[in-house]
Chains A and B, each alone.
Chain A
Amino acid sequence: MTNIKLLIIDDEVEFAATLCQRLQLRGIDATDMHSGGEGLAVLEKVAPEIVILDLKMPDMSGLDVLAEIKKYDPGIEVIMLTGHGSAGSGMEAMEKGAFDYIMKPVDLQELLEKINSAYEKRGKA
C-alpha cells in the first residue's frame, strides 16, 4: 500500500489536511487540495492513482469533478466522501464511475480498506 499516489479534494481544509497527514503516516503519498478547481489543476502534476473526493463543494459539485477526472484519466479510481447520511448520493456517484463511497465522519480503517481495494482493482486493470 506504500507509495500509492493519492489526492484528497475537500473544501474542509482542516479535515483534508489532517486526513492527508494520517495517510502519509501510513506510507501513502497523499496530497490535499481544497476545491474542485484546485484538485483538477494539480492532476497532471500529482498524477494520482486514487482520488478521495468530497461530494459537496462550493465551487464545483463532486460529481462534476468526478466526470472531469474520469475524462482526464478513466484509470484513476475515485472514492467519494459524502456528508449525507444517505447511501443514495454515494450510489449515484458509483453509477457515474466512482469506485466506492464513504460517509463522514470517516472511519480511517474502513477508508484504508477501500483504498486498498481500489488499488488492487487498478493493479488488475
Chain B
Amino acid sequence: MKERSNWLAKILPPPSDNIVSGADLDRGYKNFSRGLFGILIVLVLVPLAIISLLSHHQYKHLLQQRELDQLFLNLEQAQSTIEKFVAELESVIKFVARDDRYHELLEPKELQALFVRLQSEYPGFVDIEVVDSHGMQKSYFGPYQLEGHNYTDQTWYKEVMLRGVYISNVFSGFRHVPHFVIAVSRKHPQQNASWVLRVTIDGQTLQNYVDTISTTYADDIFLVDQSFTVQTRPQKYGKISEKCILFDMGDTIEKNFKKRTVERFMMVQKASDMIIVQKSFNGQQILQGVSELVNTPWKLVMVKEQYLYADAWFSFKIRLTTIFLSCAIVAIFVILEIGKAITNHLRESDKKREQFLVEAEQPNKLASIGRLAAGVAHEINNPLAIINQKTGLVQDFMEMSDDFAYKAAMREALDGIQNSVERCKKITHRLLGFARQTDVKNEEVDINVIVREVVDFLAKEASYNQIKIDFDLDPDISKIYSDRGQLLQIFLNVTNNAIDAIGSNGTITLSSRQIDPKTIQVSITDNGPGMSAEVQQHIFDPFFTTKETGKGTGLGLSITYGIVKKFGGKINVRSEVNKGTTFDITLPVANN
C-alpha cells in the first residue's frame, strides 16, 4: 500500500505538500493536473489503441482468409471441370477404339467416317491415326501427309503401350500449330498384340475450354506442364510455350517454397493436390494457386492479385481511424475538463481548509494573547498609578513653593511625565478591555440607530479631515437581539480605522441590509488607500497595526473580531490597493 502510494505520489504529487510560496502552490496544482491528465490519457488511450490494432489485425486476417477460401474454391471447381473435360475426351477416344475395331479402322474409309463423326462433335480434332504393335503407323486421316511414320522409339508410344493411355503436352511438332495428343492402346483379341489409336487435338480446344472457366474472381488462369511450360495462353503471367514467369526461380513449388519461404513466399493453404502461396510479384502481392490435374500432364495455375476486398479494407481503415481519432479527441477533451474540475475542487478545498485553520486558530490566539495582555497590563498598572501619584505630589509641592530656578522647566517636565502616564493608562485600559470576558447583554437593537450613533460620535473628527460620511441603510431591516454597547464598539472600531486609513479627503459609506430573515449585514466602505493581501491576512491579529507608533495598539480589529465571533456573526474584509476597503459585518438577528 505504501509502495503504491509512493509511485502514485511521484506521478501525482499532492499539490499542498512542501509549499513555500504561492508560486510553489500554483506549480504544485499544475504538476498535479499534468500528472492526472497523463494517467487518465494512458488509461483511456492504451486500451483504445490495443482494441483498434486488434480489430485492424483481425479484420485484415478475416479478409485474407475469405480471399483465400474463395481462391481455393475456384481452383477446386476449375480443376474438376478441366479434369472432367479431359476425361471426357479420353473416354470418347477409348470408346471408339474398341478392341476388335483394329482391322475395321485400318480401312481409310472407315477411319475417315469415324473421324468425320468425331469432328462433328469435337471440332478441335485435327487428325486420327492407327498404329500397330510395332510402332508403325498403319492408317491416317487428317490434313497433313503423315502416313507411314514409325513411332517405335518415341516416348509417347512407349508410354501408351505401358499405361494404356497417353496425353501429351501442347506442342507444335510437324503440324506447326499448337496441339496435343491423346492416344489409347488396345489389345487385339486374336493376335494377342496391342494397337494404338492416336488423336491429335487442336491446342485452341484446350484454350477455349480454359477461357470458358476464367472467372471474374481470378486475375489469370492457365495450364502449365510438369516443367512449368505454359500450355494455354495466360492474360498476364507469361507467354504460351515458354516457361511460366511465376516459376522461374525453381523446378517445383515445393522446392521454391522450401528455399524461399522466409522472405518471398508464404504458403497459406495446402491440400494433397493443391497449393496456394502468397508472394510478391513485380511489387504486387499475389495469391498463386497451383493444382495438379489428375490423369493429365498439366497443372492448373490460378493467380489472384490481392486484395479483392480493397474497397472494404480501405473503408474499414478509414472508419477505424475516424473512430480512434474521435474517441481520442473526446477522451482528451473530457479528461482535460475532469482534470481541471478535480484540480479546482482540490484547490478550493485546500483553500477552505486553510481558511478554516486560520479561523480556528484566531480565537485561541486571541485567548492566549488576551491572558498575557491582561497580566502585563495589570502588573504595569500599579507602578503606573504610583508614578502618577508621585508626580502629582511633586507637582503639588511645586505649586505650593515660591519661585525657584528652573521651576517652569520642572513643571514642563512633570507635565510630560503625566502625559506619558496618561498614554500608558490608555494602553493598559485597552489591553484589559481586550482581555475581559464580560457577559453579553441581550436587548432588542435597531442596527440603523446604532450605525447613526457611531457616526454622530465620529462626525467631528471626520469633518476636521474633510471626510464625508454617507448612509445606505435598509429602513425595513429586522431589529436584532444583541449587546448595544459592544455593537457600538464594533462599528466604532471599524469606522475609526476607515477615518485613519483615508487620512483626509474621502468618503465612508455605511450600509445595512437584510441577507435573509435570520441574518443582517452592515458594510463599512472607505475609498482610502486599501490594503495588500499580506496586510489583509493579519488585520485581525492582536497587536498588528499599520498606524504609526503610538497611534494604535493593534487591538481594535482584534477586539472587534472577538466580539463579532461571540455574537455568532462574521467579519470579512474586501480590499484593493488604491481603491479602498470594505468590511462586511454579518450578524444573526437572534443572538444565542
Contacts and interface: CB of A to CB of B under 8 A. Distances in A.
B486 to A, nearest CB: 12
B388 interface: yes
A22 B433 CA distance: 29
B393 A104 contact: no
A106 interface: yes
Contacts of A85: 377, 428-433, 436
Interface in A1-33: 12, 14-15, 18-19, 21-22, 25
Contact of A22 (B392, B430, B432): B392
Contact of A105 (B378, B421, B431, B438): B421
B370 to A, nearest CB: 12
B377 A22 contact: no
B436 A19 contact: no
Given A25-B400, A85-B433, A86-B438, A108 B392 contact: yes
B425 interface: yes
Interface residues of B, number: 26
B436 A14 contact: no
B387 to A, nearest CB: 8
Contacts of A106: 385, 388-389
Given A18-B393, A21-B393, A85-B377, A12 B438 contact: no
Nearest to B421: A105
Task: Among A14, A22, A85, A86, find the residue whose CB has the most chain B CB atoms closer than 10 A.
Answer: A85
B107 to A, nearest CB: 159
Interface residues of A, number: 18
B382 A12 contact: yes
Contacts of A104: 381-382, 384-385
A123 interface: no
A19 B438 contact: no
A18 B428 contact: no
Contacts of B385: 12, 15, 83, 104-106
Contacts of B432: 84-86
Interface in B378-417: 378, 381-382, 384-390, 392-393, 396, 400
Contacts of B393: 18, 21-22, 25
A21 B382 CA distance: 18
Task: Among B378, B381, B386, B433, find the residue whose CB has the most chain A CB atoms closer than 10 A.
Answer: B386
Nearest to B427: A85
Interface in A57-92: 83-86, 88
Interface string B417-443: 000010011001111110010100000
Interface in A96-125: 103-106, 108
A14 B429 contact: no
B100 to A, nearest CB: 154
A84 B431 CA distance: 10
Given A85-B430, A85-B431, A86-B438, A15 B386 contact: yes
Contacts of A15: 382, 385-386, 389
A105 B381 contact: yes
Contacts of A12: 382, 385-386
Contacts of A18: 386, 389-390, 392-393
A105 B436 contact: no
B311 to A, nearest CB: 97
A90 B293 CA distance: 131
B378 A19 contact: no
A62 to B, nearest CB: 14
Nearest to A89: B436
A41 to B, nearest CB: 24
Contact of A88 (B378, B425, B436): B436
B428 A22 contact: no
Contacts of B431: 85
B177 to A, nearest CB: 138
Nearest to B396: A25
Contacts of A84: 378, 432, 436
A12 B389 CA distance: 12
A25 B401 CA distance: 13
A31 to B, nearest CB: 16
Contacts of B377: 85
Contacts of B378: 83-84
Contacts of A105: 381, 384-385, 387-389, 421, 424-425
Nearest to B429: A85
A89 B320 CA distance: 88
Contacts of B389: 14-15, 18-19, 22, 105-106, 108
A110 B488 CA distance: 26
A95 to B, nearest CB: 14
A12 B134 CA distance: 166
Contact of A86 (B381, B388, B425, B436): B436
Given A83-B381, A85-B377, A105-B384, A14 B390 contact: yes
Nearest to A109: B392
B46 to A, nearest CB: 72
Nearest to A84: B432
Interface of B: 377-378, 381-382, 384-390, 392-393, 396, 400, 421, 424-425, 428-433, 436, 438
Interface of A: 12, 14-15, 18-19, 21-22, 25, 83-86, 88, 103-106, 108
5 contacts: A22-B393, A83-B378, A105-B381, A105-B385, A105-B389
Given A12-B382, A15-B385, A83-B385, 4 more contacts: A18-B393, A19-B389, A104-B382, A105-B389
| Pairs of residues from A and B, 7 with the lowest C-beta to C-beta distance, nearest first | A85-B432, A85-B429, A105-B388, A18-B389, A105-B385, A104-B385, A14-B386
